Amino acid sequence: MPMSKGHEKTDSKSAPYHSSQPSDLVRRFAELAPEGRALDLGVGEGRDVLYLADLGYDVTGVEQVEGKVVKCQKRADEKGYHVNVTCADVRDYRIAQRRYAIIVCVGILPFITKNEAQALVAGITAGLKKGGLFLCQAFTIDDPSYKVHKRKSKEVASGVFVSGTGSIYTLYRYREILELGAALRPIYYHAYDYYDTEHGTPHWHSMVDFVGKKL
Ligand SMILES: C[S@@+](CC[C@H](N)C(=O)[O-])C[C@H]1O[C@@H](n2cnc3c(N)ncnc32)[C@H](O)[C@@H]1O
């Protein structure tokens, strides 16, 4: 079982967002999942949606920004993929039970509280079919943004910050993501730093990747 807890530096190829390429997590682990339906929570412009659809998954996406929903759906329709993107808040979205072979949370956990994440992951666990995979990525408290939020935002729970405009920003301690996915069998856990050169001034991020399997 490739479980790595080291805090190692990786290069910008591990960059999780902003690229038109699928996330490393989805690209690496999708082939371990059974066939069938996939659910991507917080699709952005749809890089993982398109990748999963290209692999043959029937993909449902959820995204709260309407412009991104339209863009992702258009890109999928142009390719003739089986994709349905819904404009919704993942915290309100009801995940059908035992339906999905793969559920992706890349980039969404920073924007909801830990209590909301617990409820979401309970729904994800129930939503996976047997052998299905939960692919998840979060920022850790070693991320440089942690110090900034400590100074500038209100910490309403450990690692959960609310800015002056009401935006939520959540960072996790190293074992918290394992605890979050405790109802699943952990098949991969990797904590790492990477230097993000994909947007703005190059900067560091500290991340954790987790993959859990529904038994
Ligand atoms: C950092 S981006 C990652 C997008 C995509 N998963 C990717 O890896 O390219 C996070 C996305 O989640 C969306 N998002 C944030 N909070 C959300 C919520 N509560 N419900 C639905 N979407 C949300 C944002 O609009 C944004 O598109």
- Give 173-199 pLDDT, tens digit per residue: 989 999 999 999 999 999 999 999 988
Q: What is the pLDDT of residues 116-136, one digit of tens each?
A: 999 999 999 999 999 999 999
- pLDDT, position 178: 96
Tens digit of pLDDT for each residue in 140-155?
999 999 999 999 999 9
- Pick left, alpha or beta for residue 80 (phi over 0 → left; psi -120 to 50 → alpha; otherwise beta): left
Give ∠ CA 195-196-198 in degrees, rounded to 5.
150
pLDDT tens across 30-45, in order? 999 999 999 999 999 9
Dist. CA 72–CA 84, nearest whole Å = 9
pLDDT of residue 198: 83
User: Which residues, judged by CB distance below 6 Å to any ligand atom, belong to the binding site of ligand 1?
Assistant: 16-17, 23, 42-44, 47-48, 62-65, 68, 89-91, 106-108, 111-112
Taking the C-alpha atoms of residue 137 and residue 190, their distance in angstroms, rounded to an integer, is 10
DSSP state string for 7-43:
EEEE-GGG--SSSSSPPHHHHHHGGGSPSSEEEEES-
44 closest CA partner among 65, 22, 24 = 65
Residue 9: is its pLDDT beyond 70?
A: no
* Ligand 1 centroid distance, CA of 206 (Å): 18
Domains in the chain, CATH or no CATH each: 3-7+21-139+171-191+207-213 (3.40.50.150)
Q: How far apart are CA 215 and CA 130, in angstroms?
A: 6
Cα 46 to ligand 1 centre (Å) = 10
pTM of the model: 0.92
Q: Residue 199's pLDDT is what?
A: 85
- The DSSP output letter for 71 is H
CB atoms under 10 Å from CB of 154, counted, come to 10
